[in-house]
Every structure is written in C-alpha cells, then in structure tokens.
Structure 1
Amino acid sequence: MTSLSHSFRIDHFLSATLTAVAFALLALSGASLKAEPPELLPLKQQYEKLTFERVQTAYDAGLKTLNDRYLEAIDRTMASSRSKGDLEAVLALGGEKSLVLDKKPLPEIDGDTKPAVATLRKVYHEQLKTLEQQRDTNLKTILTPYLERLKALETSLTKADRVDQAKEVMVYRSGLASADVAVVPQTINGGEVINSLGMKFIPVKGTTVHFCIHETRRQDYAAFAADVSDVNAAWKTFSVERTAAGHEDDHPVVHVSWEDAVRFCEWLSKKEGKKYRLPTDKEWSYAVGCGNSEKWTKSATPESLNNKVAEYPWGKKYLPASAVRFGNVGDRSYISKYPNNPFLETYDDGFVSTAPVMKFDPNENGLYDMCGNVWEWVADYWNESKAEHVLRGGGWTSSSSTSLMSSHRIKMGEEAVQYYRSYGFRVVLEGP
C-alpha cells in the first residue's frame, strides 16, 4: 500500500504549525527582502536542512506506516463485515477507504460516522496525534539553538549600525519564538511546496517558478479577505440567474479583478515569507503546453501571440473525443440552465457553473483546470500601451473553438468591468 499524499500529510501538520507561524513572518515578503541581511540566508538554509533531515523524514516514515496499517485494517474489517452480510458496514468502510485512496483528510468522528468506521478512525486519530507530538518535540529541539543564533546576528548587525537589517532579523526571530511550535520547511521531495493554506506548488518545465496545481480557491481567498480590511466584497456571494458560482470552499474564487489578484499575492508573500505572484503570459503558455510552439521574440506581447497556435489541451481538433474530460466549460450541463447561450454540444462535464478545483484530470505538467472553470489573470499587459490586462484559459461559460484554444488570450481594460462571473486566478511561487 502507498501512504497518503504529501497534501494529506501537510494538512495535518499545518494545522499545528505553519498557521501559527505564518502571520508572524511579515518582514520576509518580497517587498521587504531588500533589507534582509545576507548573513541570514545560510542560517535559514541550515535550519531548513536540519528540520527536513531530523524531523520531516522521521515524520514521513511514521505517517507512511500509519497510513499503510490503516488501509490494511479497513480491508480486514470490510472482509469480516462482508462475511456477516453487513452491507451498511461494508459501504461505510468502502467510503473510508476511498477517502484514503483519494488523498483526502479523515474528518473527526460525529453522529453520522458509522460504528464500523468510528472504531478504526478513533485509533487512527490517536496514533496520528502521538506522531505529531513527537514531531513537534523534535522541532522545538532544533528551534532553541536557532533562535540563539538569530539573536546573536541581530546584536552584531545593530553594533555594525545596520539597524534596518537587524529589525528584519528581530521580526523573523520574534515570530518563530512566539509560535507554539517551530516551522518546518515547506519544500518536500520532488520539489513540491505546500504552504499554510494547503496550496500545492510544483515546478514546470520551461519556467523558473513553481505553479500552484489548482486555481485559487474560495477558501484561500477567504483567508486573505479576513486578514485585509478593504478587500472588495464582490467575491462573497455571486450568482447568475439564481445559480451560484464560486460558492463553495473548494471552488475557484470568482468575481475578482486583476488588482485583487495582485493584492492576494502580495498578502500571501508577507504571510509566508516567500515571493508569490501572478504568472507571466509566457510562463502560463509553458504551463498549459503551448509555450514551445509560440514565437517568443523580444517584442512579443500577448496581443501578437494571441491565437497563433491552433492547439487545445486535449489535442489539435476542436471537438474532443466523448471520453475526454478535460475541464469545466460551457457544455450540455451549462445549457440546461442557460438555454439561450452557445455551448459545446458534444461534451458534458456535469457542472452548471463552477466546479471544485482538481475535479478533472491534470495536464502533462501536473496542473489542473488549465482549460475552463475560470479565466485566469496573468501578470502581463495586452501590449506595450499597458492599458489592458490579460486572462488565459477559458471559463465555465466558454465553448467556442477560439476561447478553448491554449494560445487564446482575452484583454480587459481598466475602464471595463473586471469583476466577472468567470474571472479568477492562479498563483506561482518564485525560488522556493
């Protein structure tokens, strides 16, 4: 049996660690890194190396064993229940196994939890708690001498009259010291990064950044809006003809402008102590798979490259094979609610409006929803006039041969309506 994914592992870990630390790391944002002393970087790298080698590795091994044993216990209990003809228990245990195999966290036991599942899950949570407590103890052992070294650096910088840089170290050190537990490095095997919001980032060929594998979710944006007082509230409740869009936590947030998306990235950078931003138009092209086919000259702009490569995420033909489920677009389910709109007659994704992120298969780069669900803001302007911003990827209302093309872009000017039912965004991470 394989263990649960890193995302499941980190979900449990983040609740006890990264969330407590992240808000204290404000001085490490992309905007504030100008004052960061060069002496701090090797200290951070050594700390991350130690926590990975002495804490993360042990925790990974322990969790893998726990998950493997849990799956085996489910199988044994299912076999016993099947032999007794207990259909209810078999179905409940099958659902529990699906949660594990689908890499989803196991919820707490409540009144709806079937007895056969509750017995197993109780033991699992108890063993997981013990594993996490040992991990936290190991982290704190490493943190104490690290804080002492940070304090020594802060003192030496102050004596050298490098006060601004000393303040950077002080804020960083204070944030770590005030947290309940130490922070573990976010980079894991294979170059994946998972932040305190549970957003997973992976490297993409042709770029120097890590892409979030999914579009920014409503739950991600809600954390931003809860922490920043003047966020435009247009995203909170949005519906089209009494049909909600972007309305559940795991759906992509909609009705956000380019400026909203940029502010989210700036906030997340401060929160995490890393540089998050919107992808460039070129990065987005490589992520979707048409970057190598486009002509990236020095004078190239989104306008000049628009629709120049006639490719789709599923191939070169406009109409995909009926078995292909590439994403959430304007299709037969969509037209059932909006009968007067154009739609893709040969396709049915099962969603009237937005769909949960990662509901469909990822592309060759491991990224989800690069076609459909929501249009995604990118960093570039439409052309050198810098009057209009750019979106890529199509949305849940898109259906035409042009709008679903991988090389297609749309432009949106400052004076136009930027808050739209299918406008969202995806985040990239620099130099994790």
Structure 2
Amino acid sequence: MNNKYLIVCYTLVVSVLLCAGIGFCSSNSLTQVHPDISASWTNSLGMKFSPVSGTDVLFCVWQTRVKDYDVFVRETSHSREKPDFNQGPTHPEVNVTWNDAVAFCKWLTAKEREAGLISTHQEYRLPKDWEWSVAVGLNERRDATPKQKDEKIKKVYPWNRGKGTWPQPKGAGNYSSSLEVDVYDRTSPVGSFTANAHGLFDLCGNVWEWCDDLWEPGSKSRVSRGGSWAYGHAERLLSSCRRHAPGFRSDNRGFRVVLSSSSE
C-alpha cells in the first residue's frame, strides 16, 4: 500500500468526521433532515405520523400512549392521575385535561427542537376540529364552529372506511361493552383495530380526543371528538363532538397530536 493511497484514505476519513461534527460539507452536505409534511415520519418517542390529504399537518397514527406520557412525566414532574383500571404501555393515556395535553405538546416541541429533530418552524399541537373532520373523511365547513357542526351530518359512522351504517359490526372498534362488538371492557392497546384510509387508528372509539378549538367564540369550553369505550349510539357519529372545561378529566378521554408549521 503506497503513501499516496494512505493519504487519500486519511483525507476521506477526516472529511467524514468533520461532516458529522459540524453538520455540513462544502460539496456534499450532511445536514439534519427535518420531517416532511407530505411523508410518514417517526419521532424520538416512537410515535408514528402520517400525512392527511386536505391538511398541512402530520397526524400521529395513534392516540398518545401511556409510554409516551411516561417520558413527559418523568422529565417534567408533571402531575398525573391514573385510572382505576389496569393499562399497558401501549394503551392511550387517560385522565388527561386539555391543559395537560397542551403541556405535553409544548414539552415535546421544545425537546425535539433542541435535539434538531424538528425545525424551529415546526411544532406539536392538538388537531384543529376541522383537521380532525378531514382525517375521518367528513366534508364540513371550516368556518363553522364545533357547536354549529355537532351531529349535523347524520348516519355517517366510522367503520367501513367511513361508510358504515348502524348497527356497527363486531371488531369495528373499542366501544361501549353494552354493544358487544369488542373484547375490551375499558381501553385497548392503540392500533388494535383496522386503520382508516389515512392509516390512522382509533379515530373513533377507545378514548375521546381533545382538539384545539373552543366550542364557540366567547366560550371557555374545549372540544373533543371520536367517542370512547364508554359511549353508545349517538357518539359513534363521525360528526359528534363534546365540550368540557380545559381542566376537565375523565378515564375515557385522551388526546392525539399533530406536527405542523408554527407559522400556521
């Protein structure tokens, strides 16, 4: 092996190390790749995200899991109220207020910006009510309030890719045990049932999901969508929503996050 070959090899190794250290090279950049809003992505907690056509956000394919919330609580000492039933690490976190969900989103945004995993123009947040509607395939007015839209679209249910009719078939999702369509008495592991057309799981059933919106202008109540393991017929409608104070918590309410541009 001649000296010229050794020098070339050494130069290549040093170049690679410098690129890794400073994040770029003059002609062959090794820059941090941030998530593309048009492509699937997995974050540092293992939360998987998928694009939803008609929106400019990435939706988490699952409701926020117990193991995702574990990291938040451990790193921030945020208060937590466990339900009176057993949950595994992949069950959805429950007893979460709207305020708790927003705090989780702000923490995760700061954590991943600092790590360079998302850009300073990207943020985690709760979905807008209209974004949630698009995700389940509803064609609703964006300028209407949740109060104006609540249960206005009739006879449209989530099963069969949003074309289901009542009654729901067995295995359609995690709903009230009185309906006898699933084997779970309370929450179920996320992703236990068939995903929708966008690859999103449990948009209806398992737990209600907080959205960002107020019920109507001037209201202090926040909106949740999707129904849960504890609810029956009317709450299965894709257009159904509920309102509660931002400090309200229950063992059938959780949340799902989206990744968006903070300039929106």
Task: State the distance in 2 between where 1:373 and 1:395 align.
Answer: 4
Calculate the aligned-residue CA RMSD, in Å. 2.6
Shift of 1:233: 1.9
User: Residues 66-121 of structure 1, C-alpha deviation per residue, up to 9 Å, x if partnerless?
Assistant: xxxxxxxxxxxxxxxxxxxxxxxxxxxxxxxxxxxxxxxxxxxxxxxxxxxxxxxx
Tell me if 1:383 matches 2:231: no
Q: Hey, what does 1:313 align to over in structure 2?
A: 158
Q: Shift of the alpha carbon at 1:138? A: 10
1:144 partnered with 2:21: yes
Q: Secondary structure at the match of 2:23?
A: helix
TM-score with structure 2 setting the length:
0.81
Instruction: Report the structure, 1 or 2, having the larger helix content.
Output: 1
Contact 1:214 1:369 in 2 (8 A): yes
Task: Verify the 8 A CA contact 2:37 2:51 in the aligned structure 1.
Answer: no
Measured against aligned partners, the alpha-carbon deviations of 1:268-322 in whole angstroms (never above 9, x if no partner) come to 00011131000000000001111x2x233x3x10000000112111235221234
Match of 2:64 among 201, 204, 216: 216
> Structure 1: any 5+ residue segments left out of the alignment?
1-136, 150-181, 332-342
Note the 1:14-413 alignment, pairs <5 A.
142-146=19-23, 185=33, 187=35, 191-229=39-77, 231-234=78-81, 237-239=82-84, 243-244=85-86, 247-273=87-113, 274=118, 275-290=123-138, 292=139, 294-296=140-142, 298=143, 300-310=144-154, 311-314=156-159, 315-322=163-170, 325-331=171-177, 343-344=178-179, 347-400=180-233, 402-413=234-245
* Per-residue deviation, residues 328-382 of structure 1 (Å, max 9, x unmatched): 1112xxxxxxxxxxx22xx421111110001111011110001111100000000
| Superposed displacement of residue 398, structure 1 | 1.3
Check whether the contact 2:57–2:261 (CA below 8 A) recurs between aligned residues.
yes
Structure with larger RCO (C-alpha < 8 A, sep 6+): 2
Partner AA of 1:399 in structure 2: G
Q: Is the 8 A contact 1:329 1:395 kept in 2?
A: yes
Q: 1:140 to 1:259 in 2, by over 3 A?
A: farther
- Counterpart secondary structure, 1:351: coil
How far off is 1:187 after superposition? 3.7
Cα distance in structure 2, aligned partners of 1:358 and 1:140: 41
Amino acid at match of 2:245: G
Where 1:390 maps in the other structure, the secondary structure is strand
Deviation per CA, 1:184-215: give whole Å up to 9, x if none: 63548971111100011111011110000000
Partner SS, residue 229 of structure 2: coil
1:430 aligns with 2:256: no
CA contact under 8 A between 1:358 and 1:368: conserved in structure 2? yes
What is the number of residues matched between the two proteins? 234
Q: How much identity, in percent, do the aligned residues show?
A: 37
Contact 2:23–2:32 (CA under 8 A) maintained in structure 1 = no
Q: Secondary structure at the match of 2:236?
A: coil
The amino acid that maps onto 1:252 is P
> In structure 2, do the counterparts of structure 1 residues 326 and 140 end up closer, same or farther at CA, with 3 Å as the change threshold?
farther
CA 1:330–1:302: 2 relative to 1, 3 Å: same
TM-score by length of 1: 0.51
Q: Does 1:419 align with 2:264?
A: no
Whole-angstrom CA distance in 2 between matches of 1:364 and 1:318: 20
Task: Say if 1:212 and 1:260 are closer, same or farther in 2 by CA, change over 3 A.
Answer: same
Do the aligned partners of 2:174 and 2:228 also contact (CA within 8 Å) in 1? yes
> How has the CA–CA distance of structure 1 residues 138 and 185 changed in structure 2, closer, same or farther, with 3 Å as cutoff?
farther
* Change beyond 3 A, Cα 1:138–1:366: farther
Q: Which runs of 5+ in 2 are unaligned?
A: 1-13
What letter matches 2:206 in structure 1?
N
The verdict on how the C-alpha distance between 1:250 and 1:141 changes in structure 2, with shifts beyond 3 A counting, is farther
Structure with greater Cα Rg: 1
CA distance 1:362–1:304, change in 2 (3 Å): same
Alpha carbons 1:139, 1:184 under 8 Å: kept: no
C-alpha change, 1:184 and 1:199, in structure 2 (3 Å) is farther
